[in-house]
A and B are shown apart, each in its own frame.
Chain A
């Protein structure tokens, strides 16, 4: 199945990616190839096979005691932030 330019741009928007107009045809082509390739799964008879999200059957996700295990490390973590002021992450103004 060939994806159209509009479809590729729509997917990019959903993924919050901005494609250079010049690279769109490249993604159109390669994503169409991939969609064709994975489309092969359609032919598999999966009747009776329950979807499998996790490779270890029967594994139950653990819960832990509600105890404080970490200390406040925001100063350390914010060293990696592009823009910080007064311990807050800065982003462009959202509400006018």
Chain B
């Protein structure tokens, strides 16, 4: 069995029949089972179904057929609907919800031959930056289990970091792919808004949510994204632009690529050691022939407050559907309909979800709409304008993914603002709908740091190219936590 296999390596070995999908899946399942008590990365493990899919993949491969990911094990963040498999969104509200259909992302990866091993733990309804809001208990960081893995896609990042799986789906509303990828030392890409279908992806904030991938390398992200992305008539915000071959041109030279260093991302909140790792990464890009310049995006510092108006507003609307009537948790012995709604929702949602629903309700309520919601939408326009001006001058923007490396469980749960500020460098890309990545760029006190790369709309290939060239020059993405080696 291969030691730390990437998607790229596994897909090739499976096709060459050096390994079978069944033996690979059995090995992964054994690692997953063994890791659960320490990491809690999975909410549901679908062993029987996975072995059936693996057998089918082996038959296809034996016949010289099979899609580009035939037999490759993956996991899905537990907010992608999976037909016949429970889809909890990390919430008591959906503890027993069995999705009646597959999300488009799930269906496409299935069609590409990928084998699903289970559903990955996450912050409740993707609201959180530490995975501590999950009803199924926090995920722990494989690098040090008393630390958070980041969130909300903490299960996806921890599973890839611990080499339980070569790749996992994830979603990013304000940093939920990039921040956990940075905290766990893995590579994650949030594509452009509209690039990956949101059909069957349980909604949090519909103008910000976007599905993507967490894997070990940029090349693997390209390989998986290629099978996920593209127009979907079932998602009205899906964009009908052809998906390029993300694997093509990954090795092309970087000479002449213009990289903007975001001044606002090197503020006083950034840890000094983290800053050194990011600046060392810049030096690698310079050696590769890229040209760096410093840029200022003056409206960026308002990203977090703007986001904490827009996202809760959309959340309060989206989560109004959980009424205890058609699906989801229902309280026992309701007195009347109002009592049914109120108690079902209060029992089904955890404290952070309730806080966001109430924040959203407040900013949308009569007398406050203009002052908060409309104002935040105007600020959002200004932030987007900053990026448009920047991308007239540079091809990519770079900076840190997070202000610090992973923090201790419980360290930031007392004050919501402290927790929200964790996403200070990631949120602006969501507000503007831009593609963004996090790539491992070194260690601070033995814990992984992430380099963030942001590009203009639909420039995923450009991001993946830069990240891939960086990963050919560095080996940070190959480091594995000691306990998982």
Residues of chain A having any CB pair with chain B under 8 Å: 8, 11-12, 14-20, 23, 26-27, 30-31, 33-35, 37-38, 40-42, 44, 46, 49-57, 59, 61-62, 64, 73, 76-77, 79-83, 89, 91-94
Contact = CB atoms under 8 A, between A and B. Distances in A.
Contacts of A37: 304-305, 308, 417, 420
Which of A62, A83, A94 is the most central at the interface, judged by chain B CB atoms within 10 Å of its CB? A62
Contact of B416 (A20, A34, A53): A34
Interface string B359-374: 1111101000001101
Contact of B100 (A53, A79, A82): A79
B357 interface: yes
A11 B335 CA distance: 22
A81 B327 contact: yes
Given A15-B316, A34-B417, A82-B325, A62 B379 contact: no
B337 A92 contact: yes
Contacts of B237: 54, 56, 59, 61
Main secondary structure on A side of the interface with B:
loop
Nearest to A16: B341
Contacts of B327: 77, 80-82
B26 interface: no
Nearest to B240: A62
A23 B350 CA distance: 12
Interface in B412-457: 415-417, 420, 430-434, 457
A31 B417 CA distance: 10
B358 A56 contact: no
A83 B457 CA distance: 45
A31 B98 CA distance: 33
A54 B207 contact: yes
Interface of B: 96-98, 100, 192-194, 207-208, 233, 236-237, 239, 299, 302, 304-306, 308-309, 316, 320, 323-330, 334-343, 345-346, 349, 351, 354-355, 357-363, 365, 371-372, 374-382, 384-385, 415-417, 420, 430-434, 457
A55 B207 contact: yes
Contact of B358 (A12, A20, A44, A81): A12
22 contacts: A11-B361, A11-B362, A15-B358, A16-B323, A16-B338, A16-B341, A17-B358, A27-B355, A30-B355, A34-B417, A42-B375, A44-B379, A49-B378, A52-B378, A55-B433, A56-B194, A57-B384, A61-B237, A80-B96, A80-B328, A82-B324, A82-B325
B382 A17 contact: no
When A and B form their complex, which 8 residue pairs have the shortest distance between CB atoms, in order from nearest? A55-B433, A51-B377, A82-B330, A46-B378, A80-B327, A52-B381, A18-B342, A49-B378
Contacts of B360: 15
Contacts of A31: 355, 358-359, 362
Contact of A50 (B324, B362, B381): B381
A14 B329 CA distance: 20
Which of A19, A42, A55, A61 is the most central at the interface, judged by chain B CB atoms within 10 Å of its CB? A55
Nearest to A34: B359
A33 B419 CA distance: 12
A15 B100 contact: no
A51 B381 contact: yes
A41 B379 contact: yes
Given A30-B355, A46-B379, A77-B100, A53 B207 contact: yes
Given A42-B371, A55-B207, A91-B340, A76 B100 contact: yes
A73 B101 CA distance: 10
A38 B309 contact: yes
A56 B457 contact: yes
A32 B375 CA distance: 19
Contacts of B304: 37
A53 B98 CA distance: 32
B354 A17 contact: yes
B97 A80 contact: yes
Contacts of A30: 355, 415-416
A46 B341 CA distance: 39
Contacts of B326: 77, 80-81, 89
B209 to A, nearest CB: 11
Which of B208, B305, B431 is the most central at the interface, judged by chain A CB atoms within 10 Å of its CB? B305
A9 to B, nearest CB: 10
Given A15-B316, A41-B305, A81-B326, 17 more contacts: A15-B358, A15-B361, A16-B323, A17-B345, A30-B415, A31-B355, A44-B302, A44-B382, A46-B381, A49-B385, A51-B374, A52-B377, A55-B208, A56-B457, A82-B328, A92-B339, A94-B337
A15 B357 contact: yes
Nearest to A77: B100
